[in-house]
Amino acid sequence: MSGGLAGISCLVTGASGFVGHRIVQMLLEEEEDLGELRAMDKTLSRQLLQTCDRFQSKIQVKALEGDVRDAEFLQRSCQGVDLVIHTAAIIDTTGRISKDTLMSINLNGTEKLLEVCVQNNVQYFIYTSSMEVVGPNINGDPVVNGHEDLVYESILGFCYGESKRQAERAVLRANGRDLHNGGALVTCSLRPTYIFGEGSQFLQLHLDQAIQNRGVFHRISKKEALANPVYVGNVAWAHLIAARAIKDPDAAKKMAGNFYYICDDTPHMSYSDLNHALGKELGLGVEGRLAMPYPVLYFLASMMEMISFLLRPFIRFVPPFTRHLLILVNTTFTFTYRKAQRDMGYEPRYSWEEARRVTCSWMASIMPQRKESLKKK
């Protein structure tokens, strides 16, 4: 099942992103016999280009700059490709991005990429989904150690989760589609839980807020609202394991058209307590309770959303927090990776202690510049 990717041409979309760049790094480090790696993004980051340059002498690496909604660009990018790992997406937790933009990138871009893959005889397609395709739902119904067969009343109240859910459905429906060369497309979807680690934009945002709050993280989630954090290195590792396994006919029969929750052995804790666990060695604390009782915060979020709606014809007002965000960070929502373990042989590569240590070191490295930057604002 772990025969490697020797001779394979692999395209990674969203390669400049938090997860995508880590997948690119891991593929280049672990798959020395990879035939070719194409790293694609709308904007190629300096870090991605440096990573590509570092491995040029060992593996053929191409950096491709273009939009996932551009069919002609996708045609050029997918010619001769065997495997696509599709991480490209726009993430929105606050409602700053319009529904049209979310759907055009996350859903329509994915649909176009699937069509191009069929036209170019791309045999394998791995989609980076999200825990938010299932919830938490608008009622805040909890899940404890959920699994892929769980029946959950998934009434979503936010466009990002809906755009990812529809895109995932398109990916899984495409499994088995006939290719022009007589083969068939094999697809699967990976659903990471909340991802933390070096380079996380959300963790940097929380760090900035803690710096401005005299070294104390704001309490955004109740202590008893347990989340299921997963280290970014383990998410990238899961993609590599899936890519290796999906080439094996026996494993592919199990994986084809299926989705998998991806998490690791990080202790279940609230989002706020995760921030504290990662930053306490830097002298950072965390508030003991929410700024206001949860029902009051929920009422305020409702009022701000109503004001935003009423002002929409005149000005764009984005509330600092929404009901969706409150539910997301204050609902116990945890899963198990047993099915990924059983079907594709996934085991977390990095322990919680190692993940915590390297993430803390990254936070320490950016703190001085973040303090200086925040002083100037």
Q: Is the pLDDT of residue 275 over 90?
A: yes
Number of compact structural domains in the chain:
1
CATH of the domain at 122: 3.40.50.720
For residue range 86-124, what is the model confidence (pLDDT) as tens digits?
Answer: 999 998 877 788 889 999 999 999 999 999 999 999 999
Which are the catalytic amino acids?
160
Residue 313: pLDDT band (50, 70, 90) is confident
Q: How many CA atoms lie within 13 A of 346 on its CB side?
A: 30
Q: Is the pLDDT of residue 71 over 50?
A: yes
For residue range 123-144, what is the model confidence (pLDDT) as tens digits?
Answer: 999 999 999 999 898 888 999 9
CB–CB of 245/251 below 8 Å? yes
In a domain, 154, yes or no: yes
CB–CB of 57/30 below 8 Å? no
In the chain, which ranges are continuous DSSP H helix? Answer: 18-30, 46-55, 71-78, 99-102, 109-119, 159-173, 201-212, 232-246, 249-255, 271-279, 294-311, 323-329, 338-344, 352-376
For residue range 318-368, what is the model confidence (pLDDT) as tens digits?
Answer: 888 888 889 999 999 999 999 999 999 999 999 999 999 999 999 999 998
Predicted local confidence at residue 371, as pLDDT: 85
Q: What is the DSSP string of 183-194?
A: -B-EEEEEEE-S
In a domain, 318, yes or no: no
In a domain, 309, yes or no: no
In a domain, 251, yes or no: yes
Q: What backbone torsions phi and psi does residue 350 show, to the nearest 5 degrees?
A: -110, 135
In a domain, 302, yes or no: no
Q: Is the pLDDT of residue 238 over 80?
A: yes
* Distance between first and last Cα of the chain: 53
Give 266's DSSP letter.
P
In a domain, 368, yes or no: no
Q: Is the pLDDT of residue 157 over 80?
A: no
Q: Is the pLDDT of residue 260 over 90?
A: yes
Residue 259: both structure tokens together:
């989705």
Rounded to whole angstroms, the Cα distance separating 155 from 157 reads 7
In a domain, 319, yes or no: no
Rounded to whole angstroms, the Cα distance separating 103 from 159 reads 8
Q: Is the pLDDT of residue 3 over 60?
A: no
Predicted local confidence at residue 4, as pLDDT: 84
* Interval 192-208 mean pLDDT: 95
CB–CB of 35/7 below 8 Å? yes
What SS3 state is found at 354? Answer: helix
In a domain, 114, yes or no: yes
Three-point CA angle 129, 176, 85, nearest 5°: 35
Rounded to whole angstroms, the Cα distance separating 41 from 15 reads 6
Calculate Rg over the CA atoms of the chain. 21
Give 282's DSSP letter.
G
Domain of 176? 9-199+228-267+335-350
Residue 2: pLDDT band (50, 70, 90) is very low
